[in-house]
Amino acid sequence: MLIYKIFRAPEWAELCELGDTAGAPIDLSDGYIHFSTASQAAETAAKHFADVGDLVLAAVDTDLLGDDLKWEESRNDEDFPHLYRRLNRSEVVWHEDLPLVDGVHQFPERME
């Protein structure tokens, strides 16, 4: 199964440069990296990245994350994937820019 992480461009660049990341400031504060499923990603973008452009959507295969990935109840009483370790660049299956058009993020068709 693929899960998704939305990065600001500087965060993505840092992941590519260093090879791993502990995530965005909110991830550091919460102690885990926040991900969304395909069905949760648009609401995550609207809630946490409203009117923010220059984003990158990264797809990660849950099979690569092992036991450090936990599914925990969050927004709307839904289970969200949380990674309790650093994310390695090699675990990103694919990535694409996440454009903002008329205030709405445009997600790629290949999201599962």
* Tens of each residue's pLDDT in the chain, 112 residues: 999 999 999 999 999 999 999 999 999 999 999 999 999 999 999 999 999 999 999 999 999 999 999 999 998 899 999 999 999 999 999 999 999 999 999 999 999 7
Task: Note the pLDDT tens digit of each residue in 45-70.
Answer: 999 999 999 999 999 999 999 999 99
Task: For domain 2-101, say whether CATH 3.10.20.740 is its number.
Answer: no
- Distances from the Cα of 89 to the Cα of 1, 2, 37, 48, angstroms: 17, 15, 19, 23
- Domain positions in the chain are 2-101
pTM for this model (two decimals): 0.96
